[in-house]
Amino acid sequence: MSTATVPSPLRVACIGAGYFSQFHYGSWARMDGARLVGACDRDLAKARATGLPAYDDPARMLDELQPDLLDIILPPNAHAETIRMALASGVRRMICQKPFCRDLDEARAITDEAEALGAVVVVHENFRFQPWYRAVKAALADGVLGELQQVTFRLRPGDGQGPRAYLDRQPYFQQMERFLIHETAVHWVDTFRWLLGNPTHVYADLRRLNPAIRGEDAGIVLFDHTNGVRAIFDGNRHLDHAADNLRRTMGEALFEGTAGVMSLGGDGAVHLRRHGETGPEQLLPPDEWDGFGGDCVHALQSHVVSAFLNGTPLENSARDYLTVIGIEQAIYASAASGQKIELKG
């Protein structure tokens, strides 16, 4: 990626000032390579609350500010329209929250349009940037588990019970027709493929437990990966796990191989128990970040700024992320048919 014409620091504008945007704004504010120049939200009071020049009209903000980088912090039904608006205004660098667009066809179309104009769109898929998964990736590369055979993640955020589930934080969750997989499990679709390579088959059994929401909120997904590795996503948003902050890891994980087992707990610590032994050794200490997910938002945004300014390799481009959406689509097809689905290409 050429850096010849990229200004430093990057002038960053944001569209969206809802609950999760606080982590975006907080990260940009402490980054040397970026400078916030504006915030937009249809609720002007929320945009003003950021302390930045505030707008409730995104087209006007883009025309007036001409940012170097646009951060789109909106639900999926607004992604394609916002990206097209940004492209029309001349913006050629964007980060867009996940889930990316409403479906695979829309995501593929907007990716084609952006690339045709030389624009780079990065999907804000940040879970692979959480420090515990980076530690797991390094340990797997070192071969500490021998032959990896199985990976299990148990999603247990404990936030899905009752008629007010999600209303205080992200109320649009209740109206999503596809919820557990489309909104949440995509994090582990992406993380599993980053750790293990793309799956070859998926099988899913999904269900809805809370009648106050439209979409599924529990289910199990089985992924077949190459070399005989299987990964299991076991999600239930009603149940919790042992953690002072249920949203730090959102659950617990095991990585099991012939030479040992790595475990991820709710405190963000990673431990290794070698095969035949009873006592674990610590590979990563408990997380002390009091924000979201081990400061993974900052890790992702720093990664993107480094790519634009320094030409370092870029993860999570929109083109690459189409694979995640394709796997998501196959998960829903499996749940509807009751059959294991082979993934093509």
Q: What's residue 344's pLDDT?
A: 85
Residue 170: DSSP 8-state: -
Q: What's residue 345's pLDDT?
A: 66
| C-alpha–C-alpha distance, residues 33 and 53, integer Å | 20
Q: What is the pTM of this model?
A: 0.94
| C-alpha–C-alpha distance, residues 124 and 101, integer Å | 12
- Phi/psi region, residue 102 (left: phi>0; alpha: psi -120 to 50; beta: rest), is alpha
Residues in the chain: 345
Q: What's residue 293's pLDDT?
A: 96
Neighbouring CB atoms inside 10 A of 284's CB total: 20
| C-alpha–C-alpha distance, residues 26 and 52, integer Å | 12
Q: Which residues contact 277 (CB under 8 A, 6 or more apart)?
A: 260
Instruction: Spell out the per-residue pLDDT of the chain, length 345, in tens.
Output: 544 468 889 999 999 999 999 999 999 999 999 999 999 999 999 999 999 999 999 999 999 999 999 999 999 999 999 999 999 999 999 999 999 999 999 999 999 999 999 999 999 999 999 999 999 999 999 999 999 999 999 999 999 999 999 999 899 999 999 999 999 999 999 999 999 999 999 999 999 999 999 999 999 999 999 889 999 999 999 999 999 999 999 999 999 999 999 999 999 999 999 999 999 999 999 999 999 999 999 999 999 999 999 999 999 999 999 999 999 999 999 999 999 999 986
Is the CB of residue 59 less than 8 Å from the CB of residue 89? yes
| C-alpha–C-alpha distance, residues 176 and 184, integer Å | 12
Buried b (16+ CB within 10 A) or exposed e, 65-83: bebbbbbbbbbbebbbebb
**φ, ψ for residue 8, nearest 5 deg:** -135, 130
Beta strands in 52-186 (DSSP E): 54-55, 69-72, 93-97, 120-124, 148-155
Q: What's residue 6's pLDDT?
A: 82
- Closest by Cα among 148, 150, 222 to 185: 222
Neighbouring CB atoms inside 10 A of 226's CB total: 10
**What domains, with CATH codes, occur in the chain?**
10-124 (3.40.50.720), 128-293+325-342 (3.30.360.10)
